[in-house]
Amino acid sequence: MSDLAVAVIGAGIMGTNHARVLSELPGARAVAIVDPDESRGRPAASDAGCDYAASMAEIDGHVDAAIVATPTETHVDVALEALGRGWHVLVEKPLAPTAREADELVLAAMAAGRLLAVGHVERFNPACLDLPRFVSEPLFIQTRRLSPYTDRIRDGVVRDMMIHDLDLVLSLAGAEPIEVTADVSRSRSRSEDLATATLVFPSGLIAQLTATRIGQDKVRQMDILQTDSLINVDLLRQDITVRYQATAEYPRSGARRLKEASIKEIPYLEHRGEPLFLELQDFVTAIGSGREPLVDGCAGVRALTLCERVLDAARRD
């Protein structure tokens, strides 16, 4: 069976990263980078060892799938054109500018009989892939996603950064939140630079999320509290620590200290590798097997819908 022929649409940072990974991925190959800006697209294609094209029409006929890594506002038009050409499609997050438009893409993929995946790359972080082994009935989840400021990103932090954690929390909760409260603030750009959100789920699970791009350092952390354990996840270091309380000695009257003994486990992760590589591997495998990808179009719609609920809640407050 021949390798899956993949076109990368968009020669920006994410597009060139996708092309790089495709050059290393068994079972797939980048056949072209498509970008109307030849001064950007042709050098990117040369670096990736594939063809350059200014439009999808120039390469139609020998492509099986496309990766859409263009600005968010173009995702719908570009993905619809790719689906119309009979290609399977992976769209970088967020799937579309709005949940309504994202829904249209899901319906278009179903009508075309083609697979639609969404680039929520954090789901393919080895620590996140292993989380279901340790999480059964979460009571409380706290996430922190901090980055230094960059003026390259046009979306606010809810759609650009917090969406990763919203998607992760939804996958762990297995349900939609029944209550959403949020606050946002702006300091260096026209969209929100800092956002906090609290989600309450039918099970009683409470999730508190923080995302900002005015941090002085890069932080990607998640803490999950369960009845019998506390799970700490460092997404940058790709590791998980599980803590269990073993004993506790409560102080006598007047004592100043509480003595506790706990058991700490740092489990070996079953999954290893670059998240983007694992994401594209899942996409290619899903196409070959006919199964749904780990993050399908419906998951992309759910994450985007929750982004809109967070922003609506912040406006109400």
Average pLDDT over residues 172-177: 96
Reported as type and span, the H/E element at residue 111 is helix 99-112
Residue 301 has pLDDT above 80, yes or no: yes
Which of 93, 101, 91 has its CA nearest to residue 65?
A: 91
Q: Residue 62 contacts by C-beta under 8 Å, 6 or more apart in sequence? A: 5, 31
Instruction: State the CATH class of domain 123-272+305-316.
Output: alpha beta
Q: Residue 200 contacts by C-beta under 8 Å, 6 or more apart in sequence? A: 177, 178, 179, 180, 206
Topology of domain 4-114, CATH: Rossmann fold (3.40.50)
Which of 118, 105, 109, 98 has its CA nearest to residue 296?
A: 118
pLDDT of residue 247: 61
pLDDT digits (tens, 9 = 90+) for 132-166: 999 999 999 999 999 987 766 667 899 999 999 99
Tokens of 182: 């949020």
CATH 3.30.360.10: which residues of the chain?
Answer: 123-272+305-316
Tokens of 190: 């026209």
Scan for tokens 């400021």, then name that residue.
149
CATH 3.40.50.720: which residues of the chain?
Answer: 4-114
Residue 1 has pLDDT above 60, yes or no: no
Reported as type and span, the H/E element at residue 279 is helix 275-289
Tokens of 245: 């309380």
* Least reliable range by pLDDT among 29-38, 77-86, 87-96, 243-252: 243-252
Q: Which residue has the higher pLDDT, 221 or 215?
A: 221
Tokens of 195: 């956002």
pLDDT digits (tens, 9 = 90+) for 57-104: 999 888 999 999 999 999 999 999 999 999 999 999 999 999 999 999
Residue 258 has pLDDT above 60, yes or no: no
